[in-house]
Amino acid sequence: MTMVRQQPATQAGTPQPEPRRRRTVPRGVLNLVSVLLGIGIWWLLPTVGFHDIPAPPEVAGRAWELTVDGTLGGDVLASLLRVFIGFVLGVVAAVPVGFLMGWYGPIRGLVEPWVQFFRTIPPLAIIPLAIVLMGIGETPKIFVIFLASFLACVIATFQGVVNVDKTLINAARVLGAKDRTIFARVVVPASTPFILVGMRVGLGSSWATLVAAELIAAQQGLGYRMQNAQLYYDLPTIFVGLIAIGVLGLLMDRILLFAERHLTSWQERR
C-alpha cells in the first residue's frame, strides 16, 4: 500500500503572505548623492596637500566672471556648434556605410580595412593634414570631430547588422519576403540598439576630440579657452572648461539615452 503524505490544511480565506519586495533607492537620488560626494572630495583635496587644485568656490567665482562678461556663453556656443555639426555628419555618413558593410560581403571587404586603419590613428595626428588640405577655418575642426564620431558609429552599425539572428532572416525569406522587406522589417529594427550605442560612443569621442580640434587657429571655444589658460597657469579657468564640457556631454548623452529607451522599448532591460 502506498502511503500518501497529507499536506497540512490551511484555513479557507486566509490570505497568503506576499513575498517581500526589495527596496530600491531611486536612481535620481543616487545620482545626487554621487555628485555631492564628488564635490565634497574635490573640496577636501586642497586641504590635504593638493594645493594647486582650486577649491569649488574659486572655480564657481571664475565661472561667474566668465558668464557675466559673455566669454563662457560664446565659448559654449562655439564648441557646441562644432561638436553638433561634426557628430551629426558623422552619424549620417556612418549608418548607411555600416549597413552596406554588414549586408554586402564585397563592400565589407573593400571598406573595412580602411575603417580599421583610420581607427588606429588618433585625431590629433590628423590635424596637420587637415590644416594643409582645408586651411585654418571651421572646416578642419569639424572634419576632425566628424571623423571621430563616424568611426565609432560605423563599427557599431556594422556589428548590429552582422549580429542579426539568422533565424529571423531565414524565417522572413520562407514567408516570401524580399531582401528590401527583410532589410526594413528585420535588419533595421534589430540593429537599432547597436546604432544608438554607437551614437553615444561617437558623441563621447566627439567631445574628447574637441580640445584637439580647437588647436586649429580657434579664437573661441572651450578647448581654446583651456589651452589659453594653460599658458598663464589659470587653473580655475581650466576647471571651468572641463566642467562645461562634462556637463554638455552628459546632457547630450542623456538625450540619446532617452531616445534609445523609446526607440527600443521592446528590448528587455535590467
Please report, for the chain, the start and end positions of each structural domain, with discontinuous segments joined by +: 71-263
Q: What integer is the mean pLDDT of 184-212? A: 86
pLDDT of residue 89: 94
Q: Which of 139-148, 164-173, 250-259 has the lowest mean pLDDT?
A: 164-173
Q: How far from the centroid of its chain's Cα atoms is residue 135's Cα?
A: 29
Per-residue 3-state assignment (H helix, E strand, C coil) for the chain: CCCCCCCCCCCCCCCCCCCCCCCCCCHHHHHHHHHHHHHHHHHHHHHHCCCCCCCHHHHHHHHHHHHHCCHHHHHHHHHHHHHHHHHHHHHHHHHHHHHHHHHCHHHHHHHHHHHHHHHCCCHHHHHHHHHHHHCCCHHHHHHHHHHHHHHHHHHHHHHHHHCCCHHHHHHHHHCCCCHHHHHHHHHHHHHHHHHHHHHHHHHHHHHHHHHHHCCCCCCCCHHHHHHHHHHCCCHHHHHHHHHHHHHHHHHHHHHHHHHHHHHCCCCCCC
Q: In the CATH scheme, what architecture does the domain 71-263 have?
A: Orthogonal Bundle (1.10)
Model pTM?
0.80
pLDDT of residue 263: 75
Residue 16 carries which side chain, given as an amino acid letter?
A: Q
Q: How far from the centroid of its chain's Cα atoms is residue 249's Cα?
A: 8
Confidence of residue 150 (pLDDT cuts 50, 70, 90): very high
What pLDDT digit, counting tens, does each position of 153-186 carry? 998 888 888 888 778 777 888 887 777 888 788 8
Letter string b/e over residues 154-163, b meaning 16 or more CB atoms within 10 A of that residue's CB: bbbbbbbbee
Q: Using the predicted structure, report yes or no on whether residue 60 has a pLDDT greater than 60.
A: yes
